[in-house]
Structure 1
Amino acid sequence: MKNIVWTRIDDRLIHGQVMTQWIQNASASEVVIVDDGVAKDPFIQMIMKSSVPATINLQVFNTSDAIDYLKGDDNGKRIFILVKTPGVLVELVNNGVKIESINVGGIGAKAGRTSLYKNISASPQEKKDLRTLIDKGIKVFFRVVQSDSEEDVAKYV
């Protein structure tokens, strides 16, 4: 099993805050994006790779390939998982990927979502997915920026 040091839900995936604060905070050496759409889009992958410091390895997988990769032998890297929605993490966990905690950092407003906490919104299915993760014994918390305190998601779903 890979050494997963941080798992974050952030629908923006790679952006300045993730690059300058979260990866350093976790002392991560590899970012693993799990997103079926991004995995099919070489142009978006190229843009993301150009946004990541040269010292950080970036991997982009669809959900199925991510399960295989994350369950593989430890490669000595400190893995930072990034996903857009909690449903992806439910799929990973249901298929044997061990995740101890999940930072919910950014899920934007759009049709079918209602406000959940600060600027974080969720659809009924996303709320159900968060509850599923909590019920599996995983610590799930809101923390939008590094200077924020952790807020237990269980109070909101």
Structure 2
Amino acid sequence: MLKKITVIASIAGVLLFSGCGAKPKALLKNHNDNSLRANIFISNGIGVPSWAANETDAFKSALEVAAVTTLQQNYKYFAFFSPKEISNLDGSLSNTPEEILEKCSPSALLALHVPGTGGLHKCGTYNTKAKLGIQMFNEEQLNFTVFNAQEVIDYMKEKGLYEGLEVDVEVLN
């Protein structure tokens, strides 16, 4: 009996501390002739007992998935279209990974929680989950700022933030 309890406790411990979660998902939909839109969903599993660390990890994962999905779909640039508070299409001027990671840091999130969003904070994160909308382009845009997907990946690798996430991509009609 003790052996059975030990085995169950060991398995539970591995699951609890491994941070295992669902594979990141990108739902793609053609937006117009020049761009493609994707909704990015992240679920980083159980996480750790710190909402700040969990939300930081969830947003970093979502940023990585945005850049990877952009390149996998043969686009070079992306812009956030949701959540509205960080939307490049609605006037956010952030266009480097450093800027957006700073803007979405836990200290900024504490002060910038958006009421009425069902618990989602400003950058589309809640505990171990994130939901962001991106629009992908082949060229820089004149009317709003965009992120260079390869520069985002290079920055994340340089800073030790890159996780090499595989993305589950689904194309919608």
TM-score (norm 1): 0.31
TM-score (norm 2): 0.29
Structure ID, larger Rg: 2
